[in-house]
Chain A
Amino acid sequence: MALLEVRDLRTSFKTDDGIVQAVDGVSFTVDRNQTLGIVGESGCGKSVTSLTIMGLNNPRNATSSGQAMFDGEDLLAASQDRLRELRGQKIAMIFQDPMTSLNPVKSLGWQLSEAVLLHNDVSKKEARDRAVTALGEVGIPKPGKRVDDYPHQFSGGMRQRVMIAMALINEPDLLIADEPTTALDVTTQAQILELMRRLQAKHGTAIIMITHDLGVIAEVADDVVVMYAGRAIEEAPVDQIYAAPRHPYTWGLLGSLPRMDVDTDRLVQVPGQPPSLLNPPAGCRFNPRCTYTMDRCRVEMPELAASPASAGHRDACFLDEATKSREPGRLLAGSGMGAG
């Protein structure tokens, strides 16, 4: 059985302008020792998906339905008390901005020990020792000394290391990383990704990596879910997504990436911008921006369906097989993608 199995997850928010259906029927599974990448542009619902799983949406305006089975237990049905027990212990999360997610007036040692003390019956001394070990594990030099420092004394990359140390201090089974490297420079990003890989290999943690960066996904993920306007539109093992993408939106995403390994004069362009989720288009949500729109797309919502071509590959598009296998090769010619 998979560690986390999300089924038909839906989350909506009440706003002054109406109801925003931020996540609309998303399903996926993550196993131990595995990384699931969720990729999409701003506002596609990738962060809301993770917050819903963690039970972190504001209950006053958010409503969720569906199931998130974590180790046999439905997180969406769990009580607040139970979620508190799980968060930080079994499931941990890293956020994008390490400055705003650390408490500026508490020392790192205090913040790290807090996570230990909340979930374990240990002495303060022992908690502090574990904090020092955790800092050492994420590559902070002189952890015994730096444990008493405050967040402002660390650089951005170091702070993100501290966030990772904090998330992993109780050896959780599942780690949700929401754009963990977006605020960092490339060389620092490489350090952090390397660190996450190393820690995963050591502890067998399952990771959900949420990002808009298709490069990062290619480096770390085993499986990929592409989201658009609150829905999963394609999912596949990582090699498949890049070699033989099947949804026109995925083609657009891959084609619009400038690449240093490929000379292209013009990038493939997806016209327009993502729709408002207050009033999403009828039928396939991508139809107003899609170059292949048929009459059916404007009326009927396509569901994820298994590809006859390859196992584990599913996409939500009405296009015929011939087009799905031909177009990526044409659009992404020369890029080393769409070759399958």
Chain B
Amino acid sequence: MSDDLLVVEHLQKYFPITEGIIFQKQVAAVQAVDDVSFTIGRGETLGVVGESGCGKSTMARCIARLLDPTGGKIIFDGVDITNLSRAEMRPVRREMMMVFQDPYASLNARKRVGFIVGEPLEVHGIGTDTERKRRVQELLEIVGLNPEHYNRFPHEFSGGQRQRIGVARALAANPKLIICDEPVSALDVSVQAQILNLLKDLQREFGLTYLFIAHDLNVVRHISDRVLVMYLGKVAEVGKGRALYDEPKHPYTGALLSAVPIPNPQLGRSRKAIVLEGDVPSPMNPPAGCRFHPRCPRHREGTCDVEEPALRSFGDGHEAACHFPLERWPMTVEDVRRPSDAVVAS
């Protein structure tokens, strides 16, 4: 058994756009995820960041096989699950659970908490009724809820408590991997801190592996061992948390980092954000060459708009897909605009 719990190779997900009612003819495709590869080690947390529409949620859904990938391979715990049938997927799902963003929409409003948390056990036929009930109460306690609330309905709980219910449900069947899709973005900061602390404690206690998706770079930095930055369906940069945040190589990562407001007014005044122009282009018709080039302050005509950059290694698992990677950090906008000769030559 290898050290990697999850291996994703060249994952691709295109959503077809069709015309016509009876003879649906495909006229285009939304290239939501395009050639994404990464691994997650056992007990590790991989954070995925990117702006809305960069394909991070679609990627998570493909990995959980809630969507069928268009291409590529997903190897979970040594087994290729890319083409498993529904029935074959079932035992795998027990090992791979999801926590969703909206704690209001992801819990069935008509079911009691005991049922919601115990459902994975029931689906996978784990334990008898009484064992299941005991397990659910234990789970509620683990996530910091009162086990006596077993018979309550979701509406009786606050947003943070609902998210705890979502976490308890994900834990129920003792999974190996938990995919968290923006689990804290709907929560207030004080409640967000509670959930982040809970996720860290659970990881330590049960040896969990997380794929943690969020748009908030501070949250991702806090929880992740390694971070993957996505832009328009592609991996822009991946690396150990510290290396990636301290020495970003991709100009997009740099722009993201410089755009995050820092809760420290003195520090905030001393730095200057690299403000990107325009908006993220449509994934239906992504730019040629590097997908970031129309917004990149560093792009060079003849290279960036023609040739797609491959992921390049910068040592210790740090990789970035850029023809002219950043030489140092922090940089001013003017420095970013002018790649040094050494970088241009390489």
Where the two chains meet, the residues of A that have a C-beta atom closer than 8 Å to any C-beta of B are 41-42, 155, 157-158, 185-191, 193-194, 212-219, 238-239, 242-243, 252-261, 263-271, 273-274, 336-337
- 11 additional A-B residue pairs with CB within 8 Å, beyond A253-B189, A259-B221: A41-B189, A187-B276, A188-B51, A215-B260, A218-B261, A218-B262, A256-B190, A268-B193, A270-B194, A273-B160, A337-B264
Partner of A218, one of B191, B268, B279: B268
Which residue on B lies nearest to A190, using beta carbons?
A: B259
A158 CA to B279 CA, complexed, in Å: 9
Which of B135-143, B146-154, B171-179, B212-220 is near enough to bind chain A?
A: B212-220
For the A-B complex, the count of residue pairs with Cβ-Cβ distances under 8 Å equals 132
Which residue on B lies nearest to A263, using beta carbons?
A: B242
Partner of A259, one of B218, B258, B275, B276: B218
In this complex, which of A186, A254, A267, A273 has the most chain B Cβ atoms within 10 angstroms of its Cβ?
A: A186
B188-A188 in contact (CB<8A):
no
A18 CA to B192 CA, complexed, in Å: 30
A267-B259 in contact (CB<8A):
no
Report chain A residues within 8 Å CB of B191.
41, 273
Partner of B188, one of A41, A217, A255, A336: A41
B190-A185 in contact (CB<8A):
no
Distance in Å: Cβ of B4 to nearest Cβ of chain A: 25
A272 CA to B224 CA, complexed, in Å: 25
A260-B194 in contact (CB<8A):
no
Distance in Å: Cβ of A245 to nearest Cβ of chain B: 11
Q: Does B196 contact A (CB under 8 A)?
A: yes
Partner of B218, one of A193, A257, A269: A257
B265-A214 in contact (CB<8A):
no
Partner of B262, one of A41, A254, A261, A266: A261
A198 CA to B266 CA, complexed, in Å: 19
A216 CA to B268 CA, complexed, in Å: 10
Distance in Å: Cβ of B204 to nearest Cβ of chain A: 10
Can you show 22 pairs from A to B with CB atoms below 8 A apart?
A185-B215, A186-B215, A186-B217, A187-B276, A188-B279, A190-B273, A214-B263, A215-B218, A215-B261, A218-B261, A219-B265, A219-B268, A238-B265, A242-B265, A255-B193, A258-B192, A260-B218, A260-B245, A267-B196, A271-B194, A273-B161, A337-B264
Distance in Å: Cβ of A71 to nearest Cβ of chain B: 29
A158 CA to B280 CA, complexed, in Å: 12
Q: Does B328 contact A (CB under 8 A)?
A: no
A266-B190 in contact (CB<8A):
no
Distance in Å: Cβ of A160 to nearest Cβ of chain B: 12
A264 CA to B160 CA, complexed, in Å: 22
Where the two chains meet, the residues of B that have a C-beta atom closer than 8 Å to any C-beta of A are 51-52, 158, 160-161, 188-194, 196-197, 200, 215-219, 221-223, 242, 245, 255-268, 273, 275-276, 279-280
Distance in Å: Cβ of A135 to nearest Cβ of chain B: 16
Going nearest first, the 9 A-B pairs with the smallest beta carbon separation are A215-B261, A256-B193, A258-B222, A190-B259, A185-B51, A260-B221, A41-B188, A267-B193, A270-B190
Report chain B residues within 8 Å CB of A219.
261-262, 265, 268
A2 CA to B191 CA, complexed, in Å: 36
In this complex, which of A187, A191, A215 has the most chain B Cβ atoms within 10 angstroms of its Cβ?
A: A187
Report chain A residues within 8 Å CB of B267.
261, 336
Partner of B263, one of A259, A267, A270: A259
Which residue on A lies nearest to B269, using beta carbons?
A: A219
Report chain B residues within 8 Å CB of A217.
263
A310 CA to B92 CA, complexed, in Å: 60
A155 CA to B2 CA, complexed, in Å: 45
A260-B189 in contact (CB<8A):
no
A218-B189 in contact (CB<8A):
no
A218 CA to B242 CA, complexed, in Å: 24
Report chain A residues within 8 Å CB of B222.
258-260, 264, 267
B200-A266 in contact (CB<8A):
yes
Report chain A residues within 8 Å CB of B200.
265-266
Distance in Å: Cβ of A138 to nearest Cβ of chain B: 14
Report chain A residues within 8 Å CB of B52.
185
A124 CA to B261 CA, complexed, in Å: 41
B263-A215 in contact (CB<8A):
yes
Report chain A residues within 8 Å CB of B215.
185-186
Report chain A residues within 8 Å CB of B258.
190
Partner of A187, one of B51, B158, B189: B51
Partner of B260, one of A42, A157, A260: A260
B221-A258 in contact (CB<8A):
yes
Report chain B residues within 8 Å CB of A218.
261-265, 268
Which residue on A lies nearest to B191, using beta carbons?
A: A273
Which residue on A lies nearest to B188, using beta carbons?
A: A41
Distance in Å: Cβ of B293 to nearest Cβ of chain A: 15
B190-A41 in contact (CB<8A):
yes
B263-A256 in contact (CB<8A):
no
B266-A256 in contact (CB<8A):
no
